[in-house]
Structure formats: C-alpha cells, structure tokens
Amino acid sequence: LKPSIVKTSPKEGQKPGTSGLRKKTKVFMEKDYLENFVQSTFTSIVAAGTDISTGTLLIGGDGRYFNPEAIQTIVKMAIANGVGRVWIGENGLLSTPAVSAIIREQGPTWKKAFGAFILTASHNPGGPDEDFGIKYNCENGGPAQEFLTNAMFDNTKTITQYAICKNFPTIDLSKVGATRVEKAGLEVNVEVVSTAATHLALLESIFDFPAIQNLLDRPDFSMVYDSMHGVNGPYAREVFCKRFGLSEETMMNSIPKDDFNGGHADPNLTYAKELVAVCGLNKQGLKIDMAGKKVPDFGAAADGDGDRNMILGNQFFVTPSDSLAIIAANANKIPFFSAQGGLKSVARSMPTSGAVDLVAKDLNLSLFETPTGWKFFGNLMDSKDLFGGKDYTPLICGEESFGTGSNHIREKDGIWAVLAWLNILAAHNAKPNKPLVSVEDIVKAHWKKYGRNYYVRYDFEGVDKVAATAMMAKMGEMREANTGKAVGAFTIATADIFEYNDPVDGSVSKNQGVRFLMADGSRVIFRLSGTAGSGATVRMYIEKYEADKEKLHMNVLDAVGDLIAVGLSLCDIKTFCGTETPTVIT
C-alpha cells in the first residue's frame, strides 16, 4: 500500500461553479485532470482542519459515463492521502440527496463521514462527448462553502504532485460489503453500501406513509414518476414499487444509463417531454387534446443526480416557485414539521418568485433570500444563533430551477418534494368517499388566497462567454442611469447587482445577478449560469404578481409578454450575443 507521489502541473479552469466542477467528460479523462482536482480538495480540507484519518469518506455518483473509473481513482488517492475508511454507493450510484443523508447519519456501527465526493454534472447531458462533474460535500452534508471551493481552486493553480496507491485492489462496486486491505501495519476499510437504504429510512420518518398509501390505493388516483435514466430510478422503485406496491408501469425511465439514454436529464417542460406528453401537456405547459386517453393524476420527474423535481397534475404544471410556496403553506400536514412545532422559516434563491414570501408573511415565518445554489441554505440550517439558540429549526428552501428541500439534509431533494406533494394531496383527500381533490385544485385555491406570481425563465445556452460577460457588465454599469426610468408600461424602481451578506458567518457574495425591480413589484433578473460545462448560458428571469381574482388563470406567456419584451430590450442580448430566441423556456 505504499503511496506513489506523481509529479503533475496545474490545469486551466478548475474553478468549482454553482455546484462543483463541470467539464466535458473528455477533459476529465485527460491525464492527471481528475487527480489534480481530487488532490487539491484533500489538501484544502486537511488545511481547513478536517481529520481525514479517523473519519470516513463517502463516494458515489449519478452513474454517468466515467463514473466507475473515477471512483476507483478517488479510492486509491484517498488511501494514499491517509483516509482510513471509504464508503462507496452500490454500483457506484448515490443520488446527491442520499449522499447528504448518509454523511449526516450517525448509526451505531458506522463511523461518521467527514465528507463526500459526488461524481455528477447533475442535469447536464452525460456520455463520452458530453459532461462530467465532481463536487465535494462537507461534514454537515452540504456542498463545500465558498471559502473552501476558493481554496481548492487556489490549490489547483499551484499543484506540483499528487499521492496515489496504484497497487490498491480494484473494488467490486456491485457487491455490498467490506474489503479490508492490510499491509505493513496499515489497515484500510472500503465498504460498498446500499444506494437507497439510509435515505429512504429518513424519508419514511418525515412523511405520513400510511396516508400516502391510502391515497395511492384509491381507484380514482394514479401517478407516474420519470427518473429520466438518472440515479433516481433505484430510489423511486424502492419507494413506490417495493414499499407502496405500485406497478412497474408507474416508473418511467427508471434504469440508470451512463448517457441518460442520449437525453437531457433535466426535469422541465422542455426536456422531460415524454412525461409532459403522458400528463397531457405541451412544452408551454398548456393542455393538449388527449382524445379520451386516461391521464395520470400526478406526475413527477427527477434530474440526473436526483436532487431536482418537477411536479405535474392531471394536465397541469406546477411552477417550482409555486410548489415551494404551496409546500410551505401546507407544511403542517407533514409530520416532520408538525412534530417540531410547525414550520418556522423559509428561504428561496433570489431569482425564485416571491410566492413563498406571501406565505411567510401570512404565517409569520422568517424569510431568507440567498444567491443561486444550495450551499447558501446550509449555513442558515446549521445556525443556532439565527433562531434563538435552538438546535433545530424547521426550514423549507427552494429554487426556481426545480429544486426544493428542507433541513432534513443539506441538499435539495427530488424524491422528498414528490413525497411532500403526495403527503399534502393525501391530507386534502383524507375524508373517504369524496371526489378527488386534485393538484390543480390545490394550486388554484392557493392562488385565490395569495394571488399568483406569474413566472417564466428564458435560457440562452451556448452563447459566447466574452459577449455575455460584456452584456452583464453593461447592465451593471447602467444601474444608476436605469433607476427611475420608464420602460414600456413599467417603471424601474431599483436596478442593482445582487449581493448577499450571509447572516450566519458574515461572508459576502458579490455579483450574484443584475436585478430590475419594477415599481409594481414585477421583477426582471439576469444571471450567467455557473454550471455550464463549456461556453456561457444567460438566464433571464421574469416575474409579475397578479392579485386580481379575474386574472388568475391566464396563459403565462400572455400574462408576462410585455415584461419579456422589456427584459429583452434592457439587456440588448440581440446586439451582444446575436440572438434573442431562448433555447429553453421553463
């Protein structure tokens, strides 16, 4: 087990983005590329005080191309760096939320994990010609904070060597169980752990499974769940087929594939087209003629690494921002929250609509607005000071990008959101022999009470990075000149660049998007994506609030059409990037 020290030199561009380092798979397969990043991570966490010799390192991925090879390399490097114990997900598979759950698990026979490598580029396509990714999560189960990802990046710029135990045996990822290797007084434990067990046990402790079972058993209720050939399949089958006894037909695309079957495992109206069609919708979320064909009452989809969710009803699309608000408004129906004395706070990323703000105001919850990316929620969840010294504060978080979750773990959790909706539906349908209260009924009742935040996001993928950066800079420079200006039917009350002062550790995250806040409460926001594997993606977020009861059921694009036009002219993307046609609308 003698580690070899291999000479290397820095690789360009190994800066972790919104959620880890993502690059073309071929780049990751280049000599020393993965090794450099992994070594830089070990160096950073040791420098930050992590004792890697007594704890456990967890490794798993979303099953994309190069996943098994990368795992074997990381194991060999972990051991060379002095890690005493490694756990790996069965077949190399672990969803992002499951990783978070396992890190936080403190079972009697398990030594607690100090962190994890998750091999995923999430919703980015996979395969030899597509994307690969890696991220590091810390002891709290959440993504590494910025100070740590900055330190990793700094190390990648100065790295000269890495350590690897080349002669460590290749681990059989298909067999759950331990491999103990002992040599020269050094004992190393590598254990392949069940992909789903820990996470599912946690979910069962959160939701009212008997009530969900009653709902699923109703003859007038049916559901489908599309795992999009990502890592969610084994979890979905375990819960819905094994635990709840649904037929395999309810599970769409539930076998993980290393290229997601050539698809784009991103649960939205554009990419989850198979599910969207089954649920009787087109890609604008509008009803299509089903010619009498039966449509499921509930539909859901997950992304490649299982942390995102899309929720559909019978010919009905729930926007992620509305989903967050509705779960928060109904949190008392979920045992996890009611047992803790009820939900106390909510958090959303800045571009996420203000629908949840209205619920927070109504229910007297604290509300936090963070930059895009889940790592900012973790600090709030772990803070005792923010919440009057209490250890444990029930908190629900969400992003407009189909991510929802709570402080049961430190990542967004796709299957959690699906079970949350089923739990809420079950509670609304608790009385026997009544017609089914549908997803659509629940959403419409919510709008009636709170008004509706019409919302749409335009993505311009694959645009020139220099041009997109210049466009953002121009809007930033113009912010004072734009403030107070009338544009179309709107007046810009404030134009600014969003900056976040973390209330927990005082850290400041600058340059988190350009905002145009209109006098009537409407918002137009621009960001550059931090997850693109190559090139640049511009995101334009459009929100318009409507309280008028007569105007709650409009077509979204009709409701916000004038604001979209205003947004396109404010950024002038046509001049900068040569297009104003989005590649994806969500």
Q: Which residues are catalytic?
A: 122
Binding mask 305-344 for ligand VG1 (x = CB under 6 A): --xx------------------------------------
Number of residue whose CB is nearest Co ion: 122
Q: Which pair of structure tokens corresponds to residue 4?
A: 């070899």
Which stretch, 85-93, 302-310, 549-557, 561-569, contacts ligand VG1 (CB under 6 A)? 302-310
Cα distance between residue 94 and residue 194, in whole Å: 9
Cα distance between residue 581 and residue 191, in whole Å: 49
Cα distance between residue 66 and residue 113, in whole Å: 24
Which stretch, 283-291, 371-379, 492-500, 565-573, contacts ligand VG1 (CB under 6 A)? 371-379
Tell me: does residue 19 bind ligand VG1 (CB under 6 A).
yes
Cα distance between residue 304 and residue 281, in whole Å: 22
Binding mask 348-367 for ligand VG1 (x = CB under 6 A): -x------------------
- DSSP line for 32-46: THHHHHHHHHHHHHH
Binding positions for ligand VG1, 69-108, rule CB under 6 A: none
Length of the chain: 586
Nearer to Co ion, 122 or 254 (CB): 122
Buried b (16+ CB within 10 A) or exposed e, 320-349: bbbbbbbbbbbbebbebbeeeeebbbbbbb
Choose from ligand VG1, Co ion, none: what does 502 bind? Cβ within 5-8 Å by kind. none
Nearer to ligand VG1, 394 or 403 (CB): 403
Choose from ligand VG1, Co ion, none: what does 399 bind? Cβ within 5-8 Å by kind. ligand VG1
Q: How far is CA 555 from CA 295, 317, 551, in A?
A: 21, 12, 10
Q: Are 350 and 368 in contact (CB under 8 A)?
A: no
Tell me: does residue 373 bind ligand VG1 (CB under 6 A).
yes
Tell me: does residue 18 bind ligand VG1 (CB under 6 A).
yes
Nearer to Co ion, 122 or 179 (CB): 122
Choose from ligand VG1, Co ion, none: what does 137 bind? Cβ within 5-8 Å by kind. none
Cα distance between residue 310 and residue 317, in whole Å: 8
Cα distance between residue 420 and residue 439, in whole Å: 12
Choose from Co ion, ligand VG1, none: what does 476 bind? Cβ within 5-8 Å by kind. none
Choose from Co ion, ligand VG1, none: what does 393 bind? Cβ within 5-8 Å by kind. none
Cα distance between residue 178 and residue 216, in whole Å: 38
Nearer to ligand VG1, 122 or 423 (CB): 122
- Find the largest Cα–Cα distance for the chain: 77
Residue ranges binding Co ion (CB under 5 A) = 122, 303, 305, 307-308
**Interaction site with ligand VG1 (CB under 6 A):** 18-19, 122-123, 303, 307-308, 349, 372-374, 399, 401, 403, 529-531, 539
